[in-house]
């Protein structure tokens, strides 16, 4: 029994030695193969391989650099935007500080709500927004009144411009202007009036009819002013301007013309700084009231410049 165990032990030793020899031989062959492979690579190929390995190793670093650059650009844009906004706010504040408010009152009469279609009410709403914005920017802002606010117009403002309740430098009244202002101080601006303004009285309140009617209710503002015993007049447009189209002015155009007159002191300068270029406005060359005023109104587009009772007389 002992002899058999001794023989088996010797056999195991021989087997282990053989395995170790084979492993060493395999390792030697592998190293020889790698050495042979390296020797087989040219100098250019080895250089390319090293470059590829380096590129792979630096992948994460490059990704981080791109991320950092993107973040820096975003931060720079935010800083620039903040600087621009700061400059704009500063400019607006300077303009407000430099503005010289006037005592002249300018009123938009919104008592024609039941005479307008919904789309025309929306147009009036936009025109009132423009009046408010222009008055805030004006060098000589007027005392802005909005009267008889209600109905469709108020609904439009509530739905599309909820911030109107926070508007500054404006008196918004639900009452009719005749209940808010003294009758002796009011002058209604209507193209149907035979009276022509030559200058503005800073003690007066000038009323603009807030009616987008496309000539469906011509003469209604003059009629209402006469019923209330209120003075009325039209802007001196014919004395200074010839136009190729109908002399139709939107609420904001009348408002802006008066603001421009308060600043420039010239009706002609005021008209030409406000009137849309597409109307082909030209200065009257032969003197006040002598210009040719023919126009069939075919060029006018109600969608852009609504027919209002604050318009000039229709061509005969």
In this model, does residue 264 exceed pLDDT 70?
Answer: yes
Judged by DSSP in three states, 105 sits in strand
Find where tokens 């496309």 sit: 214
Structure tokens at 255: 């408002």
pTM of the entire predicted model = 0.62
pLDDT value of residue 179: 96
Q: Out of 35-39, 150-154, 248-252, give the one with best mean pLDDT.
A: 150-154
The DSSP bridge pattern shows strands 143-147 and 231-233 to be unpaired
Residues with active-site annotation: 213
pLDDT value of residue 152: 94
Higher pLDDT, 25 or 103: 103
Model confidence pLDDT, tens digit, residues 120-133: 999 999 999 999 99
Structure tokens at 227: 């019923």
Beta bridge partners of 186: 205
CATH 3.40.1280.30 fits 102-283, yes or no: yes
Rounded to whole angstroms, the Cα distance separating 312 from 194 reads: 11
Rounded to whole angstroms, the Cα distance separating 53 from 38 reads: 15
Percentage of the chain with pLDDT > 90? 46
Domain boundaries, the chain: 102-283
Structure tokens at 205: 């309140």
| CA angle, residues 169, 172, 178, in degrees to nearest 5 | 120
Least confident of 53-57, 214-218, 257-261: 214-218
In this model, does residue 276 exceed pLDDT 60?
Answer: yes
pLDDT value of residue 6: 52
């Amino acid at each position: 029994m002992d002899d058999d165990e001794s023989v088996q032990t010797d056999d195991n030793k021989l087997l282990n030695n053989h395995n170790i020899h084979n492993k060493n031989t395999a390792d030697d062959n592998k190293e020889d193969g790698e050495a042979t492979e390296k020797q087989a690579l040219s100098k250019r190929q080895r250089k390319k391989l090293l470059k590829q390995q380096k590129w792979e190793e630096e992948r994460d670093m490059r990704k981080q650099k791109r991320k950092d650059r993107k973040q820096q650009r975003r931060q720079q844009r935010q800083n620039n935007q903040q600087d621009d906004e700061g400059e704009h706010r500063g400019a607006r504040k300077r303009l407000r500080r430099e503005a010289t408010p006037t005592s002249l009152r300018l009123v938009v009469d919104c008592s024609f709500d039941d005479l307008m279609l919904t789309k025309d009410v929306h147009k009036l709403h936009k025109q009132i927004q423009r009046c408010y914005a222009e008055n805030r920017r004006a060098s000589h802002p007027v005392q802005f009144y909005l009267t008889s606010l209600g109905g469709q117009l108020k609904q439009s403002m509530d739905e599309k411009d909820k911030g109107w309740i926070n508007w500054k430098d404006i008196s918004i009244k639900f009452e009719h202007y005749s209940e808010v202002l003294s009758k002796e101080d009011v002058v209604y601006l209507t193209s149907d009036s035979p009276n022509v303004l030559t200058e503005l009285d800073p003690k007066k309140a000038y009323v603009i009819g807030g009616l987008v009617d496309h000539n469906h209710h011509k003469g209604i503002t003059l009629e209402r002013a006469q019923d209330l015993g209120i003075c009325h007049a039209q802007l001196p447009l014919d004395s200074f301007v010839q136009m190729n189209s109908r002399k139709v002015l939107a609420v904001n155009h009348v408002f802006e013309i008066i603001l421009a007159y308060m600043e420039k002191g010239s009706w002609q300068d005021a008209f030409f700084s406000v009137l849309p270029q597409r109307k082909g406005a030209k200065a009257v060359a032969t003197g006040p009231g002598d210009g040719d005023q023919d126009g069939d109104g075919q060029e006018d587009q109600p969608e852009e410049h609504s027919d209002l009772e604050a318009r000039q007389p229709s061509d005969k």
